[in-house]
Amino acid sequence: MTRAIFPASFDPITYGHVDIATRAAGVFDELIVGVYSRPQKNTLFSVEERLDLTQLALAHIPNIRVEPYSNLTVEFAKAYDASVIVRGLRVASDFEWELQLSLMNRTLNTDIETICFMPSQQYTFLSSSMLKDIAKNNGPITELAPADVVKALKIKYNHYNNHR
């Protein structure tokens, strides 16, 4: 049985992340989606909100579990007895960063492999920050993220726009 983790900040989860998680869940027996609670960048959503939205977005996939984590990714993998780290590759520019991350993680733990999945073409240019930018400016986002995320973004930015 092969267990994998898919670690990210999910601020918030997009259909690009859902695409990668769905593909990985089709390949591995179990996928633990790790919501990183302490990213370098400031997050729009709290860890509880990111966890909730990620759980709601992936609830329809039976072999996926969503868990928070705040330690090193390889430690999170070890804690769940996972041997694979799943990541996504959108465009060529992702490659350099993902290569650096995977080599660093391999230095920290040689038993864990990083495996990258490519999303459907329609999500190639989608990122959480692009989604937030469009939402902030009241642009159309229903094709980019699950309904609960769309709703949560509307609430956040209505508040923001009303107090600007």
Interaction mask 118-157, ligand ADP, x per CB under 6 A: -x---x--xxx-----------------------------
Q: Please give the backbone phi and psi of residue 80, each rounded to the nearest 5 degrees, phi first.
A: -105, 10
Give the nearer residue to ligand ADP in terms of CB position, either 143 or 158: 143
Q: Which residue's structure tokens are 């993998």?
A: 77
* CA dist., res. 51 & res. 82, Å (int): 20
* CA dist., res. 42 & res. 40, Å (int): 7
CB of 62 to ligand ADP, least distance (A): 22
Annotated catalytic residues are 17, 41, 90, 128
Q: Pick one of 30, 49, 52, 94: the residue that binds ligand ADP (CB under 6 A).
A: 94
* Measured distance between the N- and C-terminal CA atoms of the chain, rounded to whole angstroms: 52
Give the nearer residue to ligand ADP in terms of CB position, either 67 or 158: 67
* CA dist., res. 12 & res. 129, Å (int): 9
CB of 94 to ligand ADP, least distance (A): 5
HSE, side-chain direction, 13 A CA sphere, residue 36: 20
Q: Pick one of 66, 74, 85, 88: the residue that binds ligand ADP (CB under 6 A).
A: 88
Angle at 84 between CA 27 and CA 131, to 5 degrees: 75
Counting contacts by CB under 6 A, is residue 39 touching ligand ADP?
yes
CB of 28 to ligand ADP, least distance (A): 16
Give the nearer residue to ligand ADP in terms of CB position, either 59 or 99: 99
* CA dist., res. 161 & res. 26, Å (int): 41
Using CB under 6 A as the binding criterion, the count of chain residues that bind ligand ADP stands at 18
**DSSP 8-state assignment for residue 120:** P
Q: Name the residues that contact ligand ADP, by CB under 6 A.
A: 8-9, 14, 16-17, 20, 36, 39, 87-88, 90, 94, 98, 119, 123, 126-128
